[in-house]
Amino acid sequence: MRTFKEKLALHMIPEWEEHYVNYVQLKVHVKKIQRRAIYLELVNPHGPTETIRLLSPPTPFEREFTAECNKVQAWYMNQLDECRQQWVRLQDQHAATLAAHAHLLPSPTNGVRRNSVLDSSTSMRLGSPERLSIKWSLVDLYKRLRKLQNFALLNYKALRKILKKHKRKCSEERSVRVRGILFDKLHAYGFSHALPVKEFLTQLEVYFAKTVLDDDCIKMAPAVVLESEWKEPTPQWHSVYMGLKLGMCMVLALWLVWDHVVLGALRHEDGHARLKISETRAYPFYRGMGLVLYCMWLWGGVLYCWQATRINYCYICDFDPRTTRGCTRVFEEASHLTSLYLIDLIVYVQAETSHPTLTMPSAGYIPLIYFIYVLVYFGRREWGQARRLLLLTRDILLTPLFPVTYWHMFFLSCMTSAVKMNEDLAWSMCYFSTGEFQTTPTLDRSCARSLEHVVVPLLSGLPLTWLSLQCLRRAYKLQLVFPCLVNAVKYAITCWVVLSIPPSQVTRTLLFVSLWLSTWLWDVVVDWGLGRPQHRFLGHGLMYTQAWVYYGAMAIDFILSFAWLLVLVPRGSQQVPSWVETLQPVAMLLEPIRRAIWACFAMENEHLRNAPQYRKHTLIPLYDRGGGGVSEMTGQYYALKVGVVVVIVCVCSVAAIAISGTA
């Protein structure tokens, strides 16, 4: 768990750093008071005399605490006054723009004067430079007010924590009296509640909606947050590099589909049928690695949605923003591994299918090379990331012994959607560790049989079991039946249904339909915070710009929730109906999509509402995307990589043409 000192340093606005509370120094003063009390007790156990009090004067904690409060209050009021002055200037500019374009506005009919809201909306639709200038200025003002609100409440939380620490460390009579005085002083400052900023933000959002968004309150706040400034277009070599790699992946995928799927359904001239990819020995390995890469692409998309809507997932999950990979880095890694994956798969299938009458044990080394490369690629991560993963694994394995965080529940929920991927990865470990990849296709394979009765059911049931235990711990800690205890029962029933499928067809159908509907309702109402009739079946406060996104997500989740149950059913179970085995390959592709959609809206709900009560405070600062540009050195680096990739592609193309010509 990250300490508040680290959180304060991570979410501090760099240009305002000197105006924040000196949290460390105040903690030092509290420790001095504690040491002074211990010293007085040792010198005179029966109570300090007046002489001892004079010899050891009180620490300057009260003076320093008041000085820090005054420092924060002064900067807070200074910034608030500047924002108000800017707001007045923008209103004057808008009024001047209305007056300048009065001759372009429709004339009033029947003697009825147009109201100001309609005039503002019409003027903002006019294509004038003043319109864009005012719009960008409103966005800048809104972002500045958001920063000021985060600044005020973060400092207030820091000072509150100092007083709580003072209460734990200092219990003498004078300290209790001083603490009460400081507590009253703290709440007398304006930054402690930041109400003027909140009212200012509401006023600005309404004004922006009326003048820019035609009074559409659904997309009012998100549009102000997400509106970006116009910037001079500059060459983005990173985008060129990503586009080039994506193009390579698409060409390789098209080659694979045409050569080994379309033509694989045909016959050779000699009458022998081509060997399909699904009939090769290492097909489960490539299927599992394909699902891993598929999930990486979806994870990059989820990160993009969070970053675009300013959802602070780093703050919620206690990630370090300096080392956490963003969507750009995830997309880059996914494209790199995908291109190598497709090349390796094409080479392997060519080795297996070029001579169907011959046995080629050496072809098994081709997937082994890619498997080792992936292990090395992910194994060379920084120690901080590896340590975080190890701690996460420890906390999940020993769920009843460690406190449950939102990241624990989020990670395990995603693992329930990756059951089939984990089964294929377990098969791959067995396939390579036992040396089965060196055998010929005619020999009997034992990995599938050895995993079928033990490992596969465990991979299906353990995530649900751990989730149920986590919910029970949360229910015990919060003393809540809903949602904690109800959620634990839901996961337990799901685990029982997918592992021991009832033999009766009627019972099986009723249970699957009940779990399907309950899963969908839980996703929408509890995990997403939607489905509120008073808000048009949405939620209070939205961070995505369009309302149809929420309605579409609810409809898609209703259809795809059934895929989650199909994915959890173990392969090879004797009680599994035939239609379940038929739909499982499709469910393996659909369920990660549903989980990605779920992740986008579940994190938004946690950012806005703190519904599961994983945090003691509700306010979360908006995600800071930083500069977002590519530095000159980074641009040169990616330009060099683009050149290298182009040269490699050209050389390989010429070599392929030459080889095919000689053949």
Residue 213 in this model has a pLDDT that exceeds 70: no
- Three-state DSSP class for residue 267: strand
State the chain's maximal CA–CA distance in angstroms.
110
Q: Does one domain contain both 216 and 192?
A: yes
Residue 408 in this model has a pLDDT that exceeds 50: yes
**Boundary of a domain, candidates 481, 500, 519:** 500
Q: Does one domain contain both 49 and 165?
A: yes
Residue 234 in this model has a pLDDT that exceeds 50: no
Residue 214 in this model has a pLDDT that exceeds 60: no
More confident residue, 49 or 264: 264
In a domain? residue 248: no
In a domain? residue 275: no
Q: Does one domain contain both 373 and 429?
A: no
In a domain? residue 272: no
Query: Structure tokens of 532?
Result: 């509120």
Q: What is the pLDDT of residues 421-446, one digit of tens each?
A: 888 898 888 888 888 877 655 445 56
Q: Which residues, at least 6 apart from 29, have a Cβ–Cβ distance to it below 8 Å?
A: 59, 60, 61, 64, 65
The amino acid present at 374, given as its one-letter code, is V
Rounded CA-CA distance 493/171 in Å is: 50
Rounded CA-CA distance 99/90 in Å is: 14
Per-residue pLDDT, averaged over 268-276, amounts to: 56
Of the candidates 659, 642, 616, the one whose C-alpha atom is nearest the C-alpha of residue 157 is 616
Q: Does one domain contain both 604 and 519?
A: yes
Rounded CA-CA distance 434/29 in Å is: 62
Residue 141 in this model has a pLDDT that exceeds 70: yes
Residue 371 in this model has a pLDDT that exceeds 70: yes
> Which pLDDT does position 297 carry in this prediction?
92
In a domain? residue 234: no
DSSP readout, 373-398?
HHHHHHHTS-HHHHHHHHHHHHHHHT
Residue 195 in this model has a pLDDT that exceeds 90: no
More confident residue, 308 or 277: 308
Q: Does one domain contain both 377 and 451?
A: no
More confident residue, 200 or 276: 200
Q: Does one domain contain both 192 and 182?
A: yes
Rounded CA-CA distance 654/662 in Å is: 12
Rounded CA-CA distance 509/497 in Å is: 11
> Which pLDDT does position 370 carry in this prediction?
92
Q: Does one domain contain both 462 and 562?
A: no
Q: Does one domain contain both 51 and 189?
A: yes
Q: Does one domain contain both 398 and 545?
A: no
- Three-state DSSP class for residue 577: coil
**Boundary of a domain, candidates 381, 398, 431:** 381
Residue 598 in this model has a pLDDT that exceeds 90: yes
Query: Structure tokens of 636?
Result: 């040169």
Residues in the chain, how many? 663
Rounded CA-CA distance 162/156 in Å is: 10
Question: Token pair 């004797």 is at which residue?
Answer: 574
Q: Which of 40-49, 337-346, 630-639, 653-662 has the highest mean pLDDT?
A: 337-346
Question: Token pair 């959607």 is at which residue?
Answer: 417
Residue 468 in this model has a pLDDT that exceeds 80: yes
> Which pLDDT does position 275 carry in this prediction?
65
> Where does residue 111 fall: left (phi above 0), alpha (psi -120 to 50 degrees), or beta otherwise?
left
Q: What is the pTM of this model?
A: 0.68
In a domain? residue 540: yes
Per-residue pLDDT, averaged over 471-479, amounts to: 86
> Which pLDDT does position 478 carry in this prediction?
82
In a domain? residue 188: yes
Q: Does one domain contain both 181 and 208?
A: yes
Residue 283 in this model has a pLDDT that exceeds 50: yes
> Which pLDDT does position 321 carry in this prediction?
74
In a domain? residue 106: no
The amino acid present at 147, given as its one-letter code, is K
Q: Please, which pLDDT band fits residue 545 given cuts at 50, 70 and 90? A: confident
Residue 299 in this model has a pLDDT that exceeds 90: yes
Burial class (CB in 10 A: 0-12, 13-18, 19+), 152: buried
Q: Please, which pLDDT band fits residue 655 given cuts at 50, 70 and 90? A: low
Handedness of CA 91, 97, 99, 102 (dihedral sign): negative
Per-residue pLDDT, averaged over 237-254, amounts to: 78
Q: Which domain holds residue 76?
A: 4-99+129-229
Integer CA distances (angstroms), 554 to 300, 522, 530, 648, in order? 21, 11, 9, 45
Residue 125 in this model has a pLDDT that exceeds 50: no
In a domain? residue 115: no
Q: Does one domain contain both 164 and 85?
A: yes
Q: Does one domain contain both 559 and 620?
A: yes
- Structural domain count of the chain: 5
Residue 215 in this model has a pLDDT that exceeds 80: no
Q: Please, which pLDDT band fits residue 274 given cuts at 50, 70 and 90? A: low
